[in-house]
């Protein structure tokens, strides 16, 4: 049986590929860029803010900034990351 994750990892850097998947799965990170998530972005930000911006659940090689510089500064101030 071949797993999809293995197929993608064998093409590029496995750590970068895994980080890409984890970004989408980690509830403590902001939503990835793209119109598909725009309708949920503000609500997700407010949820994480109310929780004190807990640190990511998994390490990543990707930077996962907030949607705006102001939100990023607030996350750094409150959550420390």
**57, 25, 68, 40 alpha-carbon torsion, rounded to 10°:** -130
pLDDT at residue 20 in the model: 74
CA-only gyration radius of the chain, Å? 14
* Total domains in the fold of the chain: 1
**Rounded distance, CA 31 to CA 38, Å?**
9
At 12-56, the pLDDT tens digits run: 677 777 777 788 899 999 998 889 889 999 999 999 999 999 999
Q: What is the pTM of this model?
A: 0.75
Residue 19 · residue 61 · CB < 8 Å: yes
Domain that holds residue 49: 4-79
């Amino acid at each position: 049986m071949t797993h999809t994750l293995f197929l993608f990892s064998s093409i590029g850097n496995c750590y970068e590929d895994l980080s890409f998947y984890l970004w989408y799965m980690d509830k403590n990170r902001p939503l990835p860029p793209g119109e598909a998530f725009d309708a949920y972005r503000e609500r997700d930000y407010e949820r994480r803010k109310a929780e004190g911006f807990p640190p990511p659940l998994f390490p990543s090689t990707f930077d996962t900034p907030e949607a705006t510089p102001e939100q990023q500064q607030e996350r750094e101030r409150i959550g420390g990351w």
